[in-house]
């Protein structure tokens, strides 16, 4: 099967999955005992006010009709409105998602920058002290509750040392770069506005660092394991036997092979970090998907909740396909089938 | 190999250093930075209402009246008169008021705005439920508007500070199929002292001063721009204030307030408000319909402990009405913390030794509601009653309050009157027609009280009204449909360079940006 | 939460049904485990934590502080010789509450992992063994759950179920099982072609008997590895929900909720949030050390 056909087939297969997902979240959201309408209507709301709100949001219709309305809306790009803020869900997601994406990309970059060398060191010094130390460190960092570590880091880097801002995406008083992608760093780069880029990066660094810890352990472990596997290969032993310097073998053969597994794990981690951002965003007042998800959930504001899970579903599925494709390109032995 | 790693490390450190260098900015106008603890969700005056939305609306729009300090001040209105039975209200508008597009704010605009408001039946319309409808307002001439109410309503003026006037031309141009709701949610059509600037959803909202605002500015050094910066919790509120990332912090606790008060360059505004906390007791509940049990509960509450354990400054309530509220009855005989008395009353119930378990419902994660419950839990444990702490999500609480059968035994509720009148305080909490709304979660029904509240509504004479409300309060106090706990002070922390704040008991959380003075702020 | 459901299924073909060989393997595994100092440290710490969890009600100075007692006059005291970890915003002894919370945290983790394992293994085993439509339906269902990050779904599900520690456990388990299901399915798929399974089937064993007596026991070690590595993350996830405000019912000493309470007093009264956080860390870290060691021992692919 050609790669194009393979991707196409995978893309088509996402659709029933996403329909299933919307059904799942719809069921979850409609069996709730709570009264989000009452909350949105305010503490002194009369029955008429609540009824008007219910009608406006189509909640007076039978459930199957509501679900059908939702599905057709989703296809048309209308993901409904928040009961509480009355803002369009798709508009809110398009504001919040780039923020979280940017945070996650930075975090995964930090995690890879720390984790891959750590894994390499671990493998090269297998079972010796540096190996033990790196492994313990990786486990150490992944064991912290992210929200707690975020508080501590905010205190240390933001308040005590004053190196970084205490939260948010950008200095409030300044206008962020005009949106192209919605990701401030990329946008400021596209505008060649380096001052803004520096500001965006300084806001990103601490939350991204905290977030990256969640992935450090697995990236380190997989890098180490695949390095070891490659080091064990016959041709590597052969090369070593004929006297090629270790440094050359490692950089030329082993690293490249080990990269395949590592890239896979990095792309998998990416999806997990996207979710982990929920907790970090809460602490850093970082206006992204995580804050949006938490606030909506606590209000049982189901339209955003459904939109959020759907967009995560789409992104996760795409990442999975991308991972498989990249994997195939890096390792020609894999065939698409 | 190791060399390369080393190089990588050096590059990484260099990159970090680049990021670390602090960035400072200069500005040449007065920019007010306000740390607000919640989002400004929706700025359509017909459908949005909470403290952050109100702060935005009062900046972008003008209403007929405005609350300044403790007073209700005419804003768009010049003069007004009312007929004898408080059903027909006639207002003359100031001639010079203009919308941001230059068109005049006239009687037609008022009629249009009120009719739009009542047609949409949004949350803010509870004030006028049963009192007015979409046809109640009429323009007599360009500058005169008349409201003919469905029934007499003496406190009508007080509700008009929430009637923001929209520009009919702009709404009509963006009407869509929902009366312009989609448009007005994220756009303004007002005449207020500010227009919208940068509007970063969930993040920062900017208000840009209209320099030649028709109503004039209090101070020459008013904010040229005001930024509502969302800082969701007290920790980041304080951090931002002290880091000079904000000028005002609107959510801080007592300890931080004390610390900030001692820090040079900052000051604290601590004012007793009308933000009233009470533990509503379900008067229709399985156990709690018993008056003696309600009294026992109320005597088991250690009131004096509350100011000690809560991190917000509070004033204990002397009964159903907070101290200082115009018309509050003084000297009511209400329970104090007295376990002997609590046992005495409990002995007169079917459960003389206790042994029952009551639910205490409060907003999940709200520390001071939890703490209030813990104080009651301890007292009730002494008399043999188990208090079952039941944190709920807000929408679940609202749902529980919709019916006496699902109403919690005890629920922690904050209320704030919409206007400075006993009607706004008592009617929504203690009138039996209000059952099902969140504020009336005690499901209180006393026919005499209903009658008194209804009569007072239509009584124009102030002394006669006061008489009626006195009796109502006394009756309510005797029935103990709630443990009346405290009113919470409004605590704001300011950077010293911002002056001119005037506490508004009714809008205790929203600051009038337009009245602030920034003369001493570095520009 | 970053970790779970990501293990690649691995067949441990070295485990054979012959009893003596299995014992030999376990003996060897135990030896390897003992030779791993980190895993041993993890194990010892965990034993200590377990002892604390059991003994807490007897040894802590103020056990009533974990059950709703408040001390209005003793609030927010810094750590001192009476309150080793200081007191919180209603004057409760944080040391007592943290220790009393240990049992709760462990129980939450155990329940989540067992619920998730039970659901996941059953679904995965049925799908892998019967194949065809059963497989198709069950695995598509699993895929739906796997398309959304567990934490996001857990927040939504728990919020919908309503607050309370029981709902937290149910909510997290409901989003946690798919990882187990997918892994078990892979294991069963490869095991069911093994000669000894064919033999058992040939001897007239019923489907369920073959599945549960012959196939699953041989898939046990990777499942155990995943259970142990997931445990720490289950504890973390539960704490995260507590922190968000979906956790245990007060006055239960739930660590995540305690951090949330302490957040308002941070950093001035740093002790309120700091100690529960360190407790979570300690539990998770020692579990991770243990899980890492177990993986080395039981999963021969990663053993080098």
Identify the pLDDT of residue C4: 39
CA distance B395 to chain C (A): 10
Chain C interface disruption, residue of B255, B263, B381, B392, most C CBs within 10 A: B255
Chain C's closest residue to A268, CA to CA, is C6
Residue among B213, B206, B268 at smallest CA distance from B237? B268
Contact C264 B235 (CB under 8 A): yes
- The pLDDT of residue B131 is above 80: yes
Minimum Cα–Cα distance from A222: chain C residue: C302
pLDDT for residue B470 is more than 90: yes
Report the CATH architecture of B51-173.
Alpha-Beta Complex (3.90)
Which pLDDT does position A336 carry in this prediction?
A: 53
**Domain B2-39+202-273+489-515 fold:** D-Maltodextrin-Binding Protein; domain 2 (3.40.190)
Put simply, the answer to whether A278 touches C155 (Cβ < 8 Å) is: yes
Check if B142 contacts C (Cβ < 8 Å): no
> Partners for B (CB, 8 Å, 3+ pairs)?
A, C
The answer to whether the Cα torsion of B80, B85, B87, B88 is positive or negative is: negative
pLDDT tens sequence across B221-239: 999 999 999 988 887 888 8
- Say if strands B266-281 and B204-209 run parallel, antiparallel, or are unpaired: unpaired
Nearest CB among C144, C263, C285 relative to A24 is that of C144
Q: Residue C247 is part of a domain; what is its CATH number?
A: 1.10.3720.10
Q: What is the mean pLDDT of residues B511-515?
A: 93
Mean pLDDT score of chain C:
84
A84 touches chain B (CB under 8 A): yes
Binding partners of C (≥3 Cβ pairs within 8 A): A, B
Instruction: Give the neighbours of chain A: at least 3 Cβ pairs within 8 Å.
Output: B, C
| pLDDT the model gives residue B290 | 95
Confidence band (pLDDT; 50, 70, 90) for C99? very high
CB of B277 within 8 A of CB of B310? Answer: no
H/E run at residue C30: helix C19-34
Are B149 and B93 spatial neighbours (Cβ–Cβ below 8 Å)? no
For B283-305, what is each residue's pLDDT tens digit?
999 999 999 999 999 999 999 99
Interface mutation vs chain A, best among C38, C160, C170, C270, most A CBs within 10 Å: C160
| pLDDT tier at C8, thresholds 50, 70, 90 | very low
Contact B389 C251 (CB under 8 A): yes
DSSP-derived letter for residue A155 is I
Burial class (CB in 10 A: 0-12, 13-18, 19+), A84: buried
Distance between B344 CA and the closest CA of chain A, angstroms = 36
pLDDT value at residue A333: 60
What integer is the mean pLDDT of C264-269? 81
* pLDDT at position B24 over 60: no
How far does C211 lie from chain A, in Å, by closest CA? Answer: 29
Interface of A with B in 37-56 (CB under 8 A): 38-49, 52-53
pLDDT above 80 for A170: yes
pLDDT number for residue C277? 96
Please name the residue ranges forming H helices in A31-173.
Answer: 36-41, 47-56, 63-76, 89-124, 129-142, 146-153
Looking at the domain A89-287, which fold is it?
MetI-like fold (1.10.3720)
Q: Do C147 and A313 touch (CB under 8 A)?
A: yes
Q: What is the pTM of this model?
A: 0.85
Q: Which of A43-52, B410-419, C269-278 has the lowest mean pLDDT?
A: A43-52
Over the stretch C115-146, which tens digit does the pLDDT of each residue have?
Answer: 999 999 999 999 999 988 999 999 989 988 88
Q: Name the nearest CA neighbour of A83 among A105, A113, A50.
A: A50
- Tell me the pLDDT band of B3, cut-offs 50, 70 and 90: low
Q: Do C250 and B389 touch (CB under 8 A)?
A: yes
What's the pLDDT tens digit per position in A120-167?
A: 888 888 888 888 888 888 889 889 999 999 999 988 888 788 888 878
Which residue in C4, C6, C152 has the most chain A C-beta atoms within 10 A of its own C-beta, making it the best mutation to test that interface? C152
Give pLDDT tens digits for A171-223: 888 888 888 888 998 899 888 888 899 999 999 999 999 999 988 888 888 88
The C-alpha of C287 sits at a distance from chain B's nearest C-alpha, in angstroms, of: 29
pLDDT digits (tens, 9 = 90+) for B47-86: 988 889 999 999 999 999 999 988 899 999 999 999 988 8
pLDDT at C71: 83
Q: Of the ranges A173-182, B3-12, B401-410, which one carries the lowest mean pLDDT score? A: B3-12
- C2–A272 C-beta distance less than 8 A: yes
Residues 6+ apart with CB under 8 A from C281: A143, A144, A145, A148
Most A CBs within 10 Å, among C7, C144, C295, C299, to test the A interface: C144
Q: Is B265 exposed, middle or buried (0-12, 13-18, 19+ CB in 10 A)?
A: exposed
- Write the residue in C2, C239, C302 that is nearest to A215 by C-beta: C2
Q: Is the Cβ pair A275, C38 closer than 8 Å?
A: no
Of the CA atoms within 13 Å of residue B31, those in its CB half-sphere come to 19
Closest residue in C to A312 (Cα–Cα): C148
Residue C7 clears pLDDT 60, i.e. is over it: no
Question: Hey, what are A12's tokens?
Answer: 């088509």
H/E element, B296 = helix B291-299
Q: Which residues of B touch C72 (CB under 8 A)?
A: 302, 305, 308-309, 375
* pLDDT for res C12: 42
B391 and C249 within 8 Å at the Cβ level: the answer is yes
Least confident range of A173-177, B125-129, B438-442: A173-177
CA dist C243 and C253 (Å) reads 12
Question: How far apart, in whole angstroms, are the C-alpha atoms of residue B220 and residue B510?
Answer: 22
In this structure, is residue C295 part of a structural domain?
A: yes
**CA nearest to B433 within chain A:** A46
What are the sequence ranges of the domains in chain A?
Answer: 1-84+299-337, 89-287
Q: How many CB atoms lie within 10 A of CB C251?
A: 23
Tell me if chain C has a CB within 8 Å of the CB of B399: no
- Overall average pLDDT of the B151-171 stretch: 93
Question: How far off is chain A from B14, nearest CA to CA, in Å?
Answer: 13
For residue C212, the model assigns a pLDDT of 84
Binary contact (C2, A142; C-beta < 8 A):
yes
Q: A81-93, pLDDT tens digit by residue?
A: 998 888 899 999 9
**For residue A264, what are the contacts with CB-CB under 8 A and spacing of at least 6?**
A222, A323, A326, A327
Domain presence at residue C131: yes
Contacts of C41 in chain A (CB under 8 A): none
What integer pLDDT is reported at residue A138 of this predicted model?
A: 87
The answer to whether the CB atoms of C251 and B393 lie below 8 A apart is: no
B309:C76 CB<8 A? no
- What distance in Å separates residue C158's CA from the closest CA in chain A? 9
Bridge partners, B517 (sequence order):
B499
- Residue C3 pLDDT: 36
| Interface check C217 vs B, CB under 8 A | no
Mean pLDDT of A270-280: 84
More confident residue, B323 or B453: B453
- Give the residue on C whose Cα is nearest the Cα of A297: C156
CA A66 to chain C, closest CA, distance in angstroms equals 18
**B92 bridge partner residues:** B79, B144
Residue B25: pLDDT over 60: no
Q: Do A298 and B393 touch (CB under 8 A)?
A: yes
Chain B 283-312, residues with CB within 8 Å of chain C CB atoms = 302, 305, 308-309, 311
Contacts of A305 in chain C (CB under 8 A): 156
- Per-residue pLDDT tens over the stretch A284-325: 889 999 999 998 988 888 899 999 999 999 988 888 888 778
Residue numbers in B near C76 (CB within 8 A): 255
Structural domain count, chain C? 1
Q: What number of other Cβ atoms are within 10 A of residue A214's Cβ?
A: 28
Given phi > 0 = left and psi -120 to 50 = alpha, else beta, which region is B179? Answer: left
Helix (H, G, I), strand (E, B) or coil at A233: coil
Quickly name the fold that domain B276-488 has: Dipeptide-binding Protein; domain 3 (3.10.105)
Name the residue among C72, C249, C260 with its Cβ closest to that of B308: C72
Residue C10's pLDDT band, with cuts at 50, 70 and 90, is very low
Mutation site, C66, C250, C269, interface B, largest B CB count within 10 A: C250
Confirm or reject contact between B316 and chain C (CB < 8 A).
no
Residue B329 scores a pLDDT above 80: yes
d(CA C1, CA C134): 29
Task: Tell which A residues from 269 to 328 touch B, by Cβ distance under 8 Å.
Answer: 282, 285, 287, 291-292, 295, 298-300
Q: pLDDT category, B4, cuts 50, 70, 90?
A: low
Using 50, 70 and 90 to split pLDDT, how confident is the model at B514? very high
Q: Do B371 and C89 touch (CB under 8 A)?
A: yes
């Amino acid at each position: 099967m050609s790669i194009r056909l393979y991707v196409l087939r995978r893309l088509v297969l996402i659709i029933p999955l996403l329909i299933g997902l919307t059904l799942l979240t719809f069921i979850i959201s409609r069996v709730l005992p709570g009264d989000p309408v009452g909350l949105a209507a305010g503490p002194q709301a009369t029955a008429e006010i609540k009824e008007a709100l219910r009608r406006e949001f189509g909640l007076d219709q039978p459930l199957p009709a509501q679900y059908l309305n939702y599905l057709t809306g989703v296809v048309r790009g209308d993901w409904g409105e928040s009961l509480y803020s009355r803002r369009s869900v798709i508009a809110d997601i398009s504001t919040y998602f780039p923020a979280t994406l940017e945070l996650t990309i930075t975090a995964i970059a930090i995690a890879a920058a720390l984790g891959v060398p750590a894994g390499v060191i671990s493998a090269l010094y297998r079972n010796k002290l540096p190996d033990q130390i790196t492994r313990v460190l990786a486990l150490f960092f992944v064991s912290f509750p992210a929200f707690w570590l975020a508080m501590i880091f905010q205190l240390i880097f933001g308040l005590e040392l004053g190196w970084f801002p205490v939260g948010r995406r950008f200095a409030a008083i300044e206008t962020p770069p005009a949106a192209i992608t919605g990701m401030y760093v990329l946008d400021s780069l596209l505008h060649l506005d380096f001052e803004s880029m520096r500001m965006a990066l300084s806001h990103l660094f601490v939350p991204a660092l905290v977030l990256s810890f969640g992935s450090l352990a697995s990236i380190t472990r997989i890098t180490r394991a695949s390095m070891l596997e490659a080091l064990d290969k016959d041709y590597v032993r052969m090369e070593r036997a004929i006297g090629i310097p270790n440094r050359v073998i490692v950089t030329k053969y082993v690293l490249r092979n080990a990269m395949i597994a590592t890239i896979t794990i990095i792309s998998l981690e990416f999806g997990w970090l996207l979710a982990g951002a929920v907790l970090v965003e809460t602490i850093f007042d970082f206006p992204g998907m995580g804050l949006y998800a938490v606030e909506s959930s606590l209000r049982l504001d189901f339209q955003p909740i459904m939109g959020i899970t759907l967009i995560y579903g789409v992104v996760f599925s795409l990442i999975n396909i991308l991972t498989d494709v990249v994997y195939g390109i890096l390792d020609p032995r894999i065939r698409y089938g | 190999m190791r060399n390369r790693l080393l190089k990588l490390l050096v590059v990484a450190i260099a990159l970090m250093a680049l990021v670390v260098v602090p960035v400072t900015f200069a500005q040449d106008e007065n920019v007010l930075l306000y740390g607000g603890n919640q989002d400004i969700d929706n700025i359509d005056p017909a459908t949005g209402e909470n403290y952050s939305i109100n702060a935005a609306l009062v900046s972008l729009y003008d209403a007929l009246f405005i609350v300044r300090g403790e007073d209700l001040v005419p804003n768009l209105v010049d003069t007004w008169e009312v007929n004898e039975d408080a059903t027909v209200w006639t207002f003359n508008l100031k001639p010079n008021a203009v919308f941001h597009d230059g068109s005049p704010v006239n009687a037609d605009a008022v009629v249009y705005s009120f009719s739009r408001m009542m047609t949409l039946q949004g949350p803010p319309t509870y004030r006028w439920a049963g009192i007015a409808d979409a046809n109640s307002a009429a323009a007599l001439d360009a500058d005169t508007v008349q409201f003919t109410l469905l029934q007499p309503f003496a406190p009508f003026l007080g509700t008009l500070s929430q009637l923001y006037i929209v520009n009919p031309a702009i709404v009509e141009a963006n009407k869509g199929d929902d009366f312009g709701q989609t448009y007005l949610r994220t756009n303004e059509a007002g005449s207020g002292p500010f227009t919208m600037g940068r509007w970063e959803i969930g993040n920062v909202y900017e208000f840009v001063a209209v320099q030649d605002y028709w109503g004039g500015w209090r101070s020459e050094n008013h904010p040229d721009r005001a930024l509502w910066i969302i800082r969701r919790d007290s920790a980041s509120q304080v951090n931002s204030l002290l880091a000079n990332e904000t000028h005002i912090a609107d959510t801080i606790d007592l300890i931080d307030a004390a610390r900030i008060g001692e820090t040079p360059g900052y000051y604290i505004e601590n004012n007793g408000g009308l933000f009233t906390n009470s533990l509503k007791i379900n008067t229709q509940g399985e156990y709690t319909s018993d008056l003696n049990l309600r009294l026992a509960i109320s005597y088991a509450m250690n009131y004096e402990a509350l100011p000690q354990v809560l991190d917000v400054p509070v004033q204990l309530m002397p009964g159903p009405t907070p101290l200082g509220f115009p018309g509050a009855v003084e000297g009511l005989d209400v329970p104090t913390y007295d376990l002997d008395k609590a046992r005495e009353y409990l002995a007169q119930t079917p459960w003389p030794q206790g042994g029952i378990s009551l639910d205490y419902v409060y907003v999940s994660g709200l520390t001071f509601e939890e703490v209030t419950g813990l104080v009651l839990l301890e007292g009730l444990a002494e008399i043999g009653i188990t208090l079952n702490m039941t944190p709920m999500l807000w929408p679940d609480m609202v749902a529980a309050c919709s019916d006496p059968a699902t109403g919690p035994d005890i629920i922690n509720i904050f209320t704030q009157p919409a206007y400075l009148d006993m009607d706004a305080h008592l009617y929504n909490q203690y009138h039996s027609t209000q059952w099902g709304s969140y504020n009336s979660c005690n499901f209180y029904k006393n026919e005499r009280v209903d009658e008194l509240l209804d009569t007072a509504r239509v009584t124009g004479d102030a002394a006669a009204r006061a008489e009626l409300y006195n009796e109502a309060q006394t009756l309510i106090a005797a029935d103990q449909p709630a443990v009346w706990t405290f009113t919470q002070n409004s605590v704001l922390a300011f950077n010293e360079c911002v002056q001119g704040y005037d506490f508004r008991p009714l809008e205790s959380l929203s600051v009038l940006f337009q009245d602030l003075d920034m003369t001493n702020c570095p520009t | 939460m970053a970790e779970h459901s990501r293990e690649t299924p691995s067949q441990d073909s070295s485990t054979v049904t012959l009893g003596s060989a299995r014992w030999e393997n376990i003996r060897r595994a135990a030896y390897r485990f003992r030779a791993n100092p980190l895993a041993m440290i993890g194990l010892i710490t965990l034993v200590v934590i377990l002892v604390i969890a059991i003994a807490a009600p007897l040894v802590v100075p103020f056990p009533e502080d974990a059950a709703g007692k408040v001390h209005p006059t003793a609030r927010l005291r810094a750590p001192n010789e009476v309150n080793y970890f200081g007191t919180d915003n209603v004057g409760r002894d944080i040391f007592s509450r943290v220790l009393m919370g240990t049992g709760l945290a462990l129980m939450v983790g155990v329940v989540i992992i067992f619920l998730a394992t039970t659901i996941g293994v059953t679904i995965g085993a049925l799908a892998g063994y019967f194949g065809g439509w059963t497989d198709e339906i069950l695995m598509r269902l699993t895929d739906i759950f796997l398309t959304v990050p567990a934490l996001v779904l857990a927040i939504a599900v728990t919020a919908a179920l309503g607050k309370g520690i029981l709902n937290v456990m149910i909510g997290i388990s409901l989003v946690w099982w798919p990882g187990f299901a997918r892994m078990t399915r892979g294991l069963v798929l490869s095991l069911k072609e093994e000669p000894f399974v064919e033999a058992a089937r040939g001897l007239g064993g019923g489907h369920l008997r073959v599945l549960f007596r012959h196939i699953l026991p041989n898939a046990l070690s990777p499942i155990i590895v995943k259970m142990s590595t997931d445990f720490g993350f289950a504890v973390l996830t539960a704490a995260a929900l507590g922190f968000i405000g979906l956790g245990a019912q007060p006055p239960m000493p739930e660590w995540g909720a305690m951090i949330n309470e302490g957040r308002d007093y941070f950093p001035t009264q740093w002790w309120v949030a700091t100690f529960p956080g360190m407790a979570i860390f300690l539990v998770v870290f020692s579990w991770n050390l243990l899980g890492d060691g177990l993986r080395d021992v039981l999963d021969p692919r990663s053993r080098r």
